[in-house]
Amino acid sequence: MFCIGFDYTILETKSIISLMNTILERNEITLVRDRSSFIGVLIHVTSLESIKQHLEDIRKQYPKAKHYCYAYILGDKKKCSDDGEPAKTAGRPLLELLEKKEMDEVLLIVVRYFGGVLLGASRLMSTYLETGVNVLSSADIVSIENKYVYHMSFSYKEFEEFKRIAKKLQFSFENVSYEDRINVDVLLEDSSGEQLVNYFPHASLEVMGKKKVYRR
């Protein structure tokens, strides 16, 4: 994690795959402490451009707020900002919270309307952290899975056996189309899809690449 001033920039089996978590729907909560309002906003993001836009939108949505502290994680990119609060009392604990919860593709913003009472560095940090914990706790968390995608084509008879094998080996499939043959996209956790033809010698198989899947 690279820091400048108070602005920090930064498949073989399921058992060995480290899953990250994210959210797909925006979530928002409000915490009031000594007349100051802390508004926690959690947003799913997929690019640095979208993060910049969300931060601009939040400032427009809450134009009279005193501070707009935030943290985000997007792949290997991480950043947090205290936005004028005492150093390491806002952005840093929010970023560490996201890291502890193994979050990715998320922007966590805490907007503060100052109520006139100074909280002190310790209470201020705990309040920002509590706001972050509350908005995360009330969000619908999903796991991020990176799948290998294989396109397969079966006879109708083979497809019945394929469904049995899919249930037995616990892999998923999607985009089923029924034509002269049945076409389906198979989602696997590793790159061993070619082994499926051992079960179905008359089926065709094409490697399609990788796909990100979100699961509750």
DSSP string, 19-67: -EEEESS-EEEEEEETTEEEEEEEEE-SSHHHHHHHHHHHHHHSTT-SE
Same domain, 134 and 40: yes
Same domain, 102 and 121: yes
Query: Which of the four pLDDT bands, split at 50, 70 and 90, describes residue 212?
Result: confident
Query: Quick one: what percent of the chain has pLDDT higher than 70?
Result: 92
**Cα dihedral angle (177, 183, 185, 190), rounded to 10 degrees?**
160
Same domain, 126 and 192: no
Domains in the chain: how many in total?
Answer: 2
117 vs 36: CA distance, rounded Å: 7
Query: Which of the four pLDDT bands, split at 50, 70 and 90, describes residue 125?
Result: very high
Domain boundary pick from 108, 139, 170: 139
Instruction: Give me the chain's average pLDDT, please.
Output: 88
Q: Tens of pLDDT along 127-161?
A: 999 999 999 999 999 999 889 999 999 999 889 88
Burial group, residue 164, by CB count within 10 angstroms (0-12, 13-18, 19+): exposed
Same domain, 78 and 96: yes
Same domain, 7 and 33: yes
Q: Return the pLDDT at 16.
A: 35
Domain boundary pick from 139, 173, 203: 139
Closest to 134 (Cα-Cα) out of 38, 29, 37, 26? 29
Q: Return the pLDDT at 18.
A: 54
Check whether 10 has a pLDDT greater than 60: no
Same domain, 130 and 151: no
Number of helices and strands in the chain (H, E): 4, 12
Parent domain of 185: 145-215
